[in-house]
C-alpha cells in the first residue's frame, strides 16, 4: 500500500533497524520503545489488522509467530516476554498494517489480562 509506513519500511523506503527477515515477515526495533526490548514483527503483505486475517493470508500470522519465537531467543528473553497486537481504534492501533509487538527485558507489572 502506497501510503503505509510499514510497507515503506519493508520496501526499504523508510530506514529501520532490522532484527530479522525471511520470506514472510520483517522485524525491526520500535522507534519509541516501551521496554528494553521492543521489536515489531510485520507480515510482508499489507494486512490492515487481525479483522482481515482469513485462510488466504493466515500463513503470514503463523510465520510471524515462528519469527517471534526465534527473535525472543536471539534477544535473550529467556525470562519471558509479552506479544501485543492492537486491532482498530479502541485498541489504540496507530499503524494500520498488522504487526506484533514483542516487549521484554523487564518485569512487567501492569497488565490487562
Check residue 3 for interaction with ligand 5GP (CB under 6 A). Answer: no
Check residue 92 for interaction with ligand 5GP (CB under 6 A). Answer: yes
| Pick from 75, 69, 93, 89: nearest CA to 35 | 75
> Which residue number, 28 or 72, has a Cβ lying nearer to ligand 5GP?
28
> Which residue number, 13 or 78, has a Cβ lying nearer to ligand 5GP?
13
Q: What's the gap between Cα 19 and its chain centre?
A: 11
Check residue 30 for interaction with ligand 5GP (CB under 6 A). Answer: yes
* Ranges within 40-79 binding ligand 5GP (CB under 6 A): 40
CA distance 77 to 64: 17
Q: Which residues contact 10 (CB under 8 A, 6 or more apart)?
A: 26, 42, 44
38 is catalytic: no
CA distance 78 to 40: 18
Looking at 51-59, 75-83, 86-94, 102-110, which segment touches ligand 5GP (CB under 6 A)? 86-94
Active site residues: 99
Amino acid at each position: 500500500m502506497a501510503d503505509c509506513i510499514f510497507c515503506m519500511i519493508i520496501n526499504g523506503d523508510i530506514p529501520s533497524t532490522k532484527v530479522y527477515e525471511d520470506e514472510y515477515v520483517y522485524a525491526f526495533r520500535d522507534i519509541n520503545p516501551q521496554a528494553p526490548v521492543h521489536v515489531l514483527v510485520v507480515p510482508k503483505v499489507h494486512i490492515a489488522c487481525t479483522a482481515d486475517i482469513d485462510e488466504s493470508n493466515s500463513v503470514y500470522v503463523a510465520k510471524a509467530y515462528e519469527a517471534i519465537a526465534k527473535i525472543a531467543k536471539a534477544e535473550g528473553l529467556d525470562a519471558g516476554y509479552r506479544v501485543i497486537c492492537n486491532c482498530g481504534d479502541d485498541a489504540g492501533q496507530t499503524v494500520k498494517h498488522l504487526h506484533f509487538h514483542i516487549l521484554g527485558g523487564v518485569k512487567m507489572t501492569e497488565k490487562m489480562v
